[in-house]
Chain A
Amino acid sequence: MKRALLILLLPVFGYAQNAGEKVFAQSCATGYCHGARGTPAGAPRLAGRGFDQTYITNTVLRGLPGTAMPAFGGQLSRADLIAVITYVANLNGIANPVISLGPGSPGASSPAEPSLSTDAERGRALFFDALRGFARCSTCHEVNGVGIPVATPISQIPANPGALRALATREVHTATLDGESMPALIVSQTKMQALFYDLTSVPPVLRSVDPGAFKIADGSSWRHDSVIGSYNDAELASILVFLREAAKP
């Protein structure tokens, strides 16, 4: 029985360590940061430093403010976080670390990578397609932590590409500044400052102006259709599938 258990456990341990080493190699031992297997490089040595488990977990999740060490909580998947924390703990002589990402820890709030259907995966790639430059959806929309949140989070997903093109954008106004009219998404307006996105061209420009020199009128000639022209209907349909699946809790 004992022997059987050992056989069962070994491959699991082997996997965790390999996974940790792999995550470490990809996310930590990048030529300009830590060295392979925790050796010193651009960033300090991590092996054999006598770090305790809490310190390792917290540093990986929250980073070290004021240094180049980023917070990986919420950035790596939960499985990858556990693997890499285990790996660094092993490098510090902690053989069987007990890792708690804990409720409320940055790792715990990490959005789980939803598993997507083939069509949604295609839609995701299109949504973030860097080859389209600024003509991609993520120039103005953030989904699952990636993309620039110019627009408010996507809450209602249009039924089809036609509806996506014809999307009513009542929040876009017409601003007049120094005699020039432009489509504008107002962020805030106080007596001191008007803050708005100038939508004249992509990418949108966040502009801060003297409210006295700035006039706003309802309505705009701006159309969502005019900024999604790099996609055809089939591509837009896949993007909508992606958005629907990504929105699932």
Chain B
Amino acid sequence: MRFLLVLALAAACAQAQTPDEGATRSDWPDYGGTQLSWRYSALDQINTTNVKSLVPVWQFQTGDYAENLQATPIVIDGVLYIITPRIQVFALDAASGRLLWHYKYPTPRPGKPGGMTFLQNRGVAVADGKVIFGTTDNFLVALNAKTGAEEWKVSVDDPRQCGCDITAAPLIVKDKVIVGGTGGDAAHRGYLTAFYTKNGRFAWRWYVIPGPGEKGHETWKGDSWKLGGGAPWMTGSYDPDLNLVYWGTGNAGGDFNDEARLPEGAKGKEANLYTASVVALDADTGKMRWYHQEIPDDLWDFDSAYECVLIDRPINGQMRKLLVHMNKSGVTFVLDRVTGEFIGAFSMPEVQTWISGITEDGKLVGRVEPQAGKVVNTCPSAAGAKSWNSMAYSPRTGYVYAPINEVCNDLRSESDQPVEGRFHANGGFTFKLPPDRKTYSHIDAWDPVTRKRIWSVPYRYILLASMLATAGDLVFTGDPEGEFFALDAQTGARLWSYQTGAGHRGSAVSYSVNGRQYIATPTGWQQAITGAQLAPLFPEQNWRTGSTLIVFALPEAK
């Protein structure tokens, strides 16, 4: 009996994370740092004491100014890989910025007019000697990581039909590469697809929306499931102990009006599964293990498609495997990632009018929904308290760090017929600044277990770049005016700042080569979509685009 107990304890211990299992070290191997998506580096050469001496050591101009540089750089064995919106991939010496090879994707086939294809790319995945990425015309491409030569290429879907494409970095899990696509607000049935990394052959596909005969299908009215949206358009996470991949799904298409998609009597219940949810899938088969729907019947375009931060923390004295996830509403859910059990939720934005609150078991109360024929103002906006740009987690502080925008919108609810592959939102939104405020965003540190805000640093405009946390107790991010800066992870005190010359919309990383720690940040404000939609709120501002990677380090000892 005692022996069994010891065995059980040993098993439990083996399953819990070591304190910084999700930390990166000399490499930055995955989109989220590691596949636990902490965006946290265990490097501490650059720290609160010496960060004031940080200087730029090299920079790389991609020359691709089609859009901004949103990609998370990947660094493996001293080589840094970065991709631009028009699918140019560069392999650089991570210590000097010297170009090793360059790949340029041929002019893609144009997507369907009025569809949801975007000129953006958020990163490559590197493993098994290959650099793998999605394209604006919906191909998944694998290059030889040493030479940049194409090895395989496969069409995930026809952008001329689905009006969708790939902007997310893929996730490589064991022998497969898993990728989602855009089309969350389009007449398109979202899915994740896995291919074998070795040869590009199809492995599995998981549809967000269950087909006839599958559980959850009954949560869709009539034929609405066929073009119901829900695309998981960002990058997931992976827990190797559980062999589960975690992904957030988009909201249902026809966003602002649920008449055509909600079955009779479904109001107020789980609806349109598995949109607006976090799901756990078996990494080998793509079979769903559990789901948690965050916003049943999402009428606000709040997309749950974002990063799943996998952390282990004690709750009531017991170590728990947790998943922290925020959708655009700013409501952040803490789930048990073994079972999907709801543990708690907290809301980061200060202005919240779309609901009056959340119950202890995670139900939304006092929903203020868009109404046909009326303009309804709600906060946060469809641009998101936070969108795809990632939060970070530090195991040293136990806090998550996120940039939060305080913007509202006037929602219009209409009723349009879905046309396959076309944008289908049933209305639209006009951004409005909330009255009686002088600052419209802030960077927050929250303890996801106690659900308490530890500190908050206000910013006058909006923030749309990802966060990077390091073991030097620093948190890095950038603003649209071009400042790239470091905050004290414990207190939020601003310790260092550098004017990079262009606005920030990308994701900074840290790595080391020959014992020297580097901080690398993409720069360039976004011309289209969210950045451009929010910029007119501040007409006196002129946030600059660009496409430059800037890399910092401490000066070398003389």
- A residues with CB within 8 A of B: 26-28, 30-33, 36, 40-43, 63, 66-68, 70-72, 75-76, 128, 130-131, 133-134, 138-139, 145-148, 198, 200-209
Annotate B181-201 by CB proximity to A: 1 below 8 A, 0 otherwise. 000010011000000000111
Task: Give the chain B neighbours of A128 by CB distance below 8 A.
Answer: 161
Q: What's the nearest-Cβ distance from chain A to residue B323, in Å?
A: 29
> Are A42 and B529 within 8 A (Cβ)?
yes
Cα distance A33–B152 when bound, in Å?
33
> Are B113 and A70 within 8 A (Cβ)?
yes
Cα distance A26–B189 when bound, in Å?
19
> Are B155 and A43 within 8 A (Cβ)?
no
Q: What's the nearest-Cβ distance from chain A to residue B105, in Å?
A: 13
Residue tally, chain B, CB below 8 Å to A? 50
Q: What's the nearest-Cβ distance from chain A to residue B382, in Å?
A: 8
A75 in complex: contacting residue of B113, B155, B162, B211, CB < 8 Å: B113
Nearest to A182 among chain B residues (CB) is: B199
Task: Give the chain B neighbours of A76 by CB distance below 8 A.
Answer: 113
Cα distance A130–B186 when bound, in Å?
14
B161 in complex: contacting residue of A31, A41, A130, CB < 8 Å: A130
Given that A31-B185, A31-B428 are known contacts, is A145 also in contact with B160, CB under 8 Å in the complex? yes
Tell me, yes or no, whether B290 is within 8 Å of chain A by CB. Answer: no
Which 7 interchain pairs have the tightest Cβ spacing?
A: A30-B423, A205-B200, A27-B114, A206-B153, A27-B113, A68-B528, A148-B155
Task: Give the chain B neighbours of A130 by CB distance below 8 A.
Answer: 157, 161-162, 188-189, 226, 420
> Are B152 and A208 within 8 A (Cβ)?
yes
A/B interface sample: 8 pairs, CB < 8 A: A26-B114, A31-B425, A32-B116, A42-B528, A68-B67, A131-B189, A200-B201, A208-B149
Task: Give the chain A neighbours of B155 by CB distance below 8 A.
Answer: 139, 148, 203
> Are B150 and A203 within 8 A (Cβ)?
no
> Are B199 and A147 within 8 A (Cβ)?
no
> Are B110 and A68 within 8 A (Cβ)?
no
Task: Give the chain B neighbours of A200 by CB distance below 8 A.
Answer: 201
> Are B202 and A202 within 8 A (Cβ)?
yes
> Are A32 and B114 within 8 A (Cβ)?
no
> Are B527 and A67 within 8 A (Cβ)?
yes
Cα distance A155–B3 when bound, in Å?
74
Annotate B518-535 by CB proximity to A: 1 below 8 A, 0 otherwise. 000000000111101100
A68 in complex: contacting residue of B118, B154, B158, B536, CB < 8 Å: B118
> Are A146 and B160 within 8 A (Cβ)?
yes
B65, B113, B152, most chain A CB atoms within 10 A: B113
Q: What's the nearest-Cβ distance from chain A to residue B66, in Å?
A: 5
Q: What's the nearest-Cβ distance from chain A to residue B292, in Å?
A: 26
> Are A43 and B528 within 8 A (Cβ)?
yes
Task: Give the chain B neighbours of A148 by CB distance below 8 A.
Answer: 155, 158
Q: Could you list 9 further interchain pairs (A-B, Cβ under 8 angstroms) beyond the known A32-B116, A70-B110?
A: A42-B529, A130-B161, A130-B188, A130-B189, A130-B420, A131-B189, A148-B158, A198-B200, A202-B202
Cα distance A67–B532 when bound, in Å?
13
Given that A31-B428, A68-B118 are known contacts, is A206 also in contact with B154, CB under 8 Å in the complex? yes
Q: What's the nearest-Cβ distance from chain A to residue B134, in Å?
A: 14
Cα distance A131–B205 when bound, in Å?
12
Given that A133-B205, A205-B201, A208-B151 are known contacts, is A42 also in contact with B533, CB under 8 Å in the complex? yes
Cα distance A205–B151 when bound, in Å?
10
Task: Give the chain A neighbours of B504 by CB distance below 8 A.
Answer: none
- Give residues of chain B (142-176) contacting chain A, Cβ–Cβ below 8 Å: 149-158, 160-162
Tell me, yes or no, whether B429 is within 8 Å of chain A by CB. Answer: yes
Given that A70-B111, A147-B158, A208-B152 are known contacts, is A203 also in contact with B420, CB under 8 Å in the complex? no
DSSP majority for the B interface? loop
Task: Give the chain A neighbours of B429 by CB distance below 8 A.
Answer: 31
Task: Give the chain B neighbours of A205 by CB distance below 8 A.
Answer: 152-154, 199-201
Given that A43-B532, A70-B111, A70-B113 are known contacts, is A138 also in contact with B202, CB under 8 Å in the complex? no
DSSP majority for the A interface? loop
B86, B161, B185, B189, most chain A CB atoms within 10 A: B161
Q: What's the nearest-Cβ distance from chain B to residue A35, in Å?
A: 8
B423 in complex: contacting residue of A31, A134, A206, A209, CB < 8 Å: A31
> Are A201 and B158 within 8 A (Cβ)?
no
Cα distance A27–B416 when bound, in Å?
13
Tell me, yes or no, whether B119 is within 8 Å of chain A by CB. Answer: yes
> Are B151 and A207 within 8 A (Cβ)?
yes
Given that A31-B428, A41-B533, A207-B152 are known contacts, is A75 also in contact with B110, CB under 8 Å in the complex? yes
Cα distance A76–B115 when bound, in Å?
12
Task: Give the chain B neighbours of A145 by CB distance below 8 A.
Answer: 160
B199, B226, B530, most chain A CB atoms within 10 A: B199
Task: Give the chain B neighbours of A208 by CB distance below 8 A.
Answer: 149-152
> Are B202 and A203 within 8 A (Cβ)?
yes
Nearest to B156 among chain A residues (CB) is: A203
Task: Give the chain A neighbours of B156 by CB distance below 8 A.
Answer: 203
Cα distance A71–B110 when bound, in Å?
8
Cα distance A204–B529 when bound, in Å?
33
Cα distance A28–B113 when bound, in Å?
8
Cα distance A201–B67 when bound, in Å?
36
Tell me, yes or no, whether B422 is within 8 Å of chain A by CB. Answer: yes
- Give residues of chain B (60-94) contacting chain A, Cβ–Cβ below 8 Å: 65-67, 86
Cα distance A36–B114 when bound, in Å?
13
> Are A131 and B185 within 8 A (Cβ)?
no
Nearest to A36 among chain B residues (CB) is: B428
Tell me, yes or no, whether B102 is within 8 Å of chain A by CB. Answer: no
Cα distance A218–B138 when bound, in Å?
32
Nearest to B428 among chain A residues (CB) is: A31
Task: Give the chain B neighbours of A71 by CB distance below 8 A.
Answer: 110
Cα distance A32–B527 when bound, in Å?
11
Nearest to B151 among chain A residues (CB) is: A208
Tell me, yes or no, whether B454 is within 8 Å of chain A by CB. Answer: no
Task: Give the chain B neighbours of A202 by CB distance below 8 A.
Answer: 202
Cα distance A224–B502 when bound, in Å?
54
Cα distance A206–B533 when bound, in Å?
38
Cα distance A33–B111 when bound, in Å?
14
Q: What's the nearest-Cβ distance from chain A to residue B430, in Å?
A: 8
Cα distance A198–B155 when bound, in Å?
13
